[in-house]
Chain A
Amino acid sequence: MSAATTSNDHSRVWRVVIYTTLIVFAIFYLLPLFVMLVTSFKPLEEIRQGNMLALPMQWTIEPWLKAWGSACIGLSCEGINGYFWNSIKMVVPAVLISTILGALNGYVLTQWRFPGHKWVFGLMLFGCFIPFQIVLIPMSQVLGMLGLAGTTAGLVLVHVTYGVGFTTLFFRNYYEAFPSELVKAAMIDGASFFGIFWRILLPSSGPILVVSIIWQFTNVWNDFLFGASFAAGESAPMTVALNNLVNSSTGVKEYNVDMAAAMIAALPTLLVYIVAGRYFVRGLMAGSVKG
């Protein structure tokens, strides 16, 4: 009896320790977000009083409106909204194209195997591990030759090229577990190469599509280096504009506007996670365990 009670007490102590640790870490990680949020809703005078963790005494959405519409980036004072749309124009095609290409690659590498398919896949995997910095100069030369230097289209090309290695990896591993008899049956039924892809494979690829889209969206949206290197001035993406906004050194440092702009920059990825996140882990795990 007493032994049972002791072990009960013991497990309760452990539980308290574990939960306390978890809560402390959660607060630790959420604190910067909290500071950003409250700062972005405070008027500038309140920030100058220096009480970083306090809630705003006077709530205002003025910094958000300014960040969106009239903050000065470099010489123009039109806010970040133009750059936000730049990023959208870059991220949507880049994500869609790289995902479709990855799916097609995965389809060919598993269901239409050719001699040397392992090598091709190996080289594409290798592409995932090449650091961004190494490709900057050759990439800028290629973009220059194609006449795409400094454009959003050029940036899309860069992100597709860089992302296709990852998306191929995702789809190949997912389709590896896809029964080849289904493809054979569709072949006998008279479906074409793309017919099988659209009608049989893609409708069964929900989880991995979500994984690929989240992964690519996050990477492309958050990219700074390629954006800063290949798209200057008017066509710069959100991340570059945010940097320029924060580093614009004319006049007073408007922390609340900076914070609001940073929040706006982070919102789309957050939204993608909230909408599709529950498929993310499911998709990453798919195929790893049979059944």
Chain B
Amino acid sequence: MSSLEIRDVRKSFGAAEVLKGIDIPVDSGDFLVLVGPSGCGKSTLLNMIAGLDTITSGEICIDEQVVNTVHPSQRDIAMVFQSYALYPNMNVEKNISFGLEMRKMAKAERQRRVAEVSQMLQIEPLLKRKPSQLSGGQRQRVAMGRALVREPKIFLFDEPLSNLDAKLRVDMRTEIKRLHQRLGSTIVYVTHDQIEAMTLATKIAIMKGGVLQQLGSPDEVYNEPANLFVAGFMGSPSMNQLPVTLAEEDGRVVAKVSHKAGDELALPLADNPVYRDCLGKQVILGIRPEAITDPGSAESDSSLLYEAKCHIEVVEPTGADVFAIMELGGKKVVGRMRANCGVKAGEVAPVTFNMQKAVVFDPETEERID
């Protein structure tokens, strides 16, 4: 268990700068997830933490010590790779104990640790097998065993679940979370899957184009996205983004949005003095699908519920919920409704907007206004 600090880290390949000054503090016991689209620099950053890639400028500290020039084997980290990277010529037991052997640990102690870890991961029957004789999920477990057995300061995971099929991925996700809760270790985890990020992290760093977009708890990045990119990237279906005009009505700031089925809607906004500065301006209103719902399933404790009649264009049942798609302000808007609320495509239905959950973005800077 250890802390990690990434201070103004930059990386250039020739003229191309792929990381543009990343600052992330990670406390002991944190589960940091680096998430972003491909090419955002998240894997490069992880490789730099591991010492597999050089740092152009900035500092990476483990336990207050700068490790920029420390060899990967001396950083006391363990890494789980996307391809698992199990040594094909060694059986499972040798794979797990290889790192200990390289560190000249006594054989008895090695065996004790391998036994402990293989019991924890339930891979004892596989110890004598070669990696080629294992299934994807089993390889994944062995790869984790190889990391766990070292008892390192920091665990690094590089998209460890993306080679598994959907069901196994969900199971392993739970398993990783359980391991983290049990061991309380510091983990840095790279993924492009925002659901993985939300479910696992205690801290999420969303990156795009080598720039850190937002760093915060899953709750923060979900409910208070720093900008339009984060709003669109986190959550599925993603946050609705409507062009609206701010106006004042009855002493309250409202977001006016045109509506195909009839009158303009005037969605009331939470009390925030900065909204008053934007009166009359065009802004972008961000509202999550679950905040647009049928009146019956609206959060009744919210003080800012607004009901309107909307024309439902398409209905997509998922079993648990129904996604109702309507058009507001010339944009498709998704609402999440109860499965048996009786909403039908082509009809006009009452829809409740929970405006407490709405956020406002500046259309030019794309930053959240608050």
A residues in contact (CB < 8 Å) with B: 179, 181-182, 184-191, 195, 199-200, 203-204
Query: In the bound complex, how far is the Cα of B51 from the Cα of A188, in angstroms?
Result: 9
Where chain A touches its partner, the secondary structure class is: helix
10 A-B pairs with the lowest CB-CB distances in the bound complex, closest first? A189-B99, A190-B102, A203-B89, A190-B73, A185-B85, A181-B85, A181-B81, A188-B72, A182-B85, A187-B72
Contact of B79 among A182, A185, A191, A195 (CB under 8 A): A185
Within the assembled complex, what's the spacing in Å between the Cα atoms of A190 and B75?
A: 10
CA distance A173 to B77 in the complex (A): 32
Q: CA separation between A191 and B100, bound complex, in Å?
A: 10
With known contacts A189-B73, A203-B89, A204-B88, A184–B52 Cβ distance under 8 A: yes
A179: nearest chain-B partner, CB-CB: B83
Name the one of B79, B83, B88 contacting A188, with C-beta atoms under 8 angstroms.
Answer: B79
Say if the beta carbon of B50 comes within 8 Å of chain A: yes
B200 to chain A, nearest CB (A): 22
Judged by a CB distance under 8 angstroms, whether B228 is at the interface is no
Contact check, A200 vs B85: say whether CB atoms are below 8 A apart.
no
Find A187's partner among B73, B78, B103, B150 (CB 8 Å cutoff): B73
Distance between Cα atoms of A181 and B131 in the complex (Å): 15
Least CB separation from A178: chain B residue: B88
Bound Cα distance A184, B79 (Å): 9
A181 to B86, CA, bound (A): 9
User: Would you call A189 and B102 a contact (CB within 8 A)?
Assistant: yes
- At the interface, is chain B mostly helix, strand, loop or mixed? loop
Q: State whether A190 touches B99 (Cβ < 8 A).
A: yes
In the complex, what's the smallest C-beta–C-beta distance from B78 to chain A, in angstroms? 7
In-complex Cβ contact of A186 among B50, B77, B98, B103 (8 A): B98
Counting residue pairs across A and B whose Cβ atoms lie within 8 Å, the total is 56
Q: With a CB–CB cut-off of 8 A, which chain B residues contact A203?
A: 89
Once the chains are docked, how many angstroms separate the CA of A26 from the CA of B122?
59
The complex places the Cα of A200 from the Cα of B95 at a distance, in Å, of: 11
Chain A residue with the shortest CB-CB distance to B53: A184
B27-54 vs A, CB cutoff 8 Å, 1 = contact: the mask equals: 0000000000000000000000011100
User: Nearest-CB distance from A56 to chain B (Å)?
Assistant: 51
Interface residues of B (CB under 8 A from A): 50-52, 71-73, 77-79, 81-83, 85, 87-89, 98-99, 102-103, 146, 150
Whole-angstrom distance between the Cβ of B84 and the nearest chain A Cβ:
8
A184 in contact with B85 (CB, 8 Å): yes
Partner of B85, one of A179, A191, A195, A199: A179
Complex interface: chain B residues within 8 A of A199 (CB): 87, 98
Taken together as a complex, chains A and B put the C-alpha atoms of A199 and B114 apart, in Å, by 19
Question: Whole-angstrom distance between the alpha carbons of A55 and B73 in the complex?
Answer: 70
Given contacts A181-B85, A190-B99, A191-B102, 7 further A-B contacts (CB under 8 A): A179-B85, A187-B72, A188-B50, A188-B79, A189-B146, A190-B73, A190-B103
Given A181-B85, A204-B88, A189–B77 Cβ distance below 8 Å?
no
Beta-carbon contact of A188 and B89 below 8 Å: no
- Chain B minimum-CB-distance residue to A205: B89
Q: Are A182 and B78 in contact (CB under 8 A)?
A: no
Alpha-carbon gap, A204 to B71, bound state (A): 25
A-B CB contact pairs (8 Å), 19 listed:
A181-B83, A182-B88, A184-B50, A184-B79, A185-B79, A185-B146, A186-B98, A187-B71, A187-B72, A187-B73, A188-B77, A188-B79, A189-B73, A190-B102, A191-B102, A199-B87, A200-B87, A203-B89, A204-B89
B81 touches A189 (CB 8 A): no
In the assembled complex, the CB of A133 is this many whole angstroms from the nearest CB of chain B, namely 43
Which residues on A sit within 8 Å (CB–CB) of B103? 190
- Given the interface contacts A181-B83, A184-B85, A203-B89, does A189 sit within 8 Å of B98 by beta carbon? yes
Nearest opposing residue in chain A for B83, CB measure: A181
Residues of B within 8 A of A185 (CB): 79, 81, 85, 87, 146
Interface core residue of B51, B77, B88 (most chain A CB under 10 Å)? B88
A200 to B82, CA, bound (A): 19
Q: Which of A179, A181, A188, A200 contacts B73 (CB 8 A)?
A: A188
Complex-state Cα separation, A190 to B74, whole angstroms: 8
**What is the CA–CA distance of A186 and B81 in the complex, to the nearest angstrom?**
12
How close is A170's CB to chain B, nearest CB, in angstroms? Answer: 19
In the bound complex, CA of A191 to CA of B90 (Å)? 15
Chain A nearest CB from B110 CB (Å) reads: 13
CA distance A194 to B71 in the complex (A): 16
Beta-carbon nearest neighbor of A189 in chain B: B99
Query: What is the minimal beta-carbon distance from A67 to any residue of chain B, in angstroms?
Result: 44
The interface centre, meaning the residue of A179, A184, A188, A191 with most chain B CB atoms within 10 A of its CB, is: A188
CA distance A200 to B73 in the complex (A): 16
**Complex-state Cα separation, A74 to B31, whole angstroms:** 82
Cα of A203 to Cα of B71 in the assembled complex, Å: 25
Please name the residue on chain A nearest to B50 by beta carbon: A188
CB distance from A182 to the nearest CB of B (A): 5
Residues of A within 8 A of B52 (CB): 184, 187-188
Tell me the complex Cα distance, A11–B50, Å. 64
Chain A residues whose CB sits within 8 angstroms of the CB of B150 once the complex forms: 189
Q: Please give the distance in Å from B160's CB to the nearest CB on chain A.
A: 12
